[in-house]
């Protein structure tokens, strides 16, 4: 799968990171795009659903697998969801084990913090407001999603984003999502000792 930052050599991130996703939305709430998986208030934890071929002992997301909860680094373009009554874009915070890829990441724990409102008033807007309320997330104009997310976490530092191969983002945050970010001293010392990785 290419070069990897192993957990013991990658910097510890002590603050949750922010990301962006799309969901299906209906009156019952949010559902993952590609799985029949409902999202409820608070922490959403990844489970490996890859089956026997992908068995691994480590928690999801495993480097050797495709599991984990996916999110992009940047907000999804409005075009990706605005034209559909059943799609909504939003912001999340991610913590636990995180595998970094070129344009996004796979994480162990994720929480919805914001949903993007359509420009128009109507049933979809009312549904988003209601679902956001049930998730204790904010319903905001799309342009404000990143600002909402930054109240709960920080963007993945650009120097940690792999240009092509995925990278393990260290022994990442196993603490409350509202704690504080990257320990610069530990990050520096670990970066000095980083190996070339494998995989």
Residues that bind Zn ion (CB under 5 A): 48, 50, 54, 62, 65, 67
CB 73 to Zn ion: min, Å: 22
The Cα-based distances of 40 to 3, 24, 77, 156, 177 in angstroms read: 35, 13, 24, 25, 16
Q: Is the dihedral of CA 46, 47, 48, 49 positive or negative?
A: negative
Q: What's the CA gap between 151 and 76, in Å, rounded?
A: 19
Q: What's the CA gap between 120 and 130, in Å, rounded?
A: 16
CB 168 to Zn ion: min, Å: 14
* Chain mean position to CA 197: 24
88 beta partners: 23
Q: What's the CA gap between 49 and 192, in Å, rounded?
A: 36
Q: Quick one: 52 or 192, whose CB is closer to Zn ion? A: 52
Q: Quick one: 48 or 165, whose CB is closer to Zn ion? A: 48
Interacting residues of 155 by C-beta distance below 8 A, sequence separation 6+: 17, 18, 73
Query: What's the DSSP call for residue 146?
Result: H
Q: Quick one: 62 or 149, whose CB is closer to Zn ion? A: 62
Q: Quick one: 54 or 165, whose CB is closer to Zn ion? A: 54
CB 37 to Zn ion: min, Å: 15
CB 116 to Zn ion: min, Å: 29
CB 173 to Zn ion: min, Å: 20
Q: Quick one: 58 or 136, whose CB is closer to Zn ion? A: 58
């Amino acid at each position: 799968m290419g070069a990897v930052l192993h957990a013991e050599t990658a910097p510890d991130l002590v603050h949750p990171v922010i990301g962006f996703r799309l969901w299906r939305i209906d009156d019952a709430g949010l559902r993952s795009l590609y799985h029949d998986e409902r999202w409820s208030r608070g922490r959403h934890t990844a489970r490996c659903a890859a089956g026997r071929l992908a068995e691994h002992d480590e928690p999801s997301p495993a480097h050797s697998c495709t599991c984990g909860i996916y999110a992009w680094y940047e907000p999804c373009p409005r075009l990706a969801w605005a034209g559909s009554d059943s799609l909504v874009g939003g912001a999340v915070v991610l913590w636990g084990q995180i595998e970094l890829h070129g344009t996004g990441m796979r994480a162990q724990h994720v929480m919805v913090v914001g949903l993007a409102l359509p420009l128009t008033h109507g049933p979809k807007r009312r549904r988003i407001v209601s679902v956001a309320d049930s998730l204790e997330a904010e319903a905001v104009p799309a342009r404000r999603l990143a600002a909402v997310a930054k109240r709960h976490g920080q963007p993945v530092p650009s120097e940690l984003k792999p240009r092509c191969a995925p990278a393990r983002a260290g022994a990442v945050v196993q603490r409350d999502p509202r704690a504080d970010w990257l320990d610069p001293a530990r990050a520096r010392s670990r970066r000095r000792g980083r190996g070339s990785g494998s995989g």
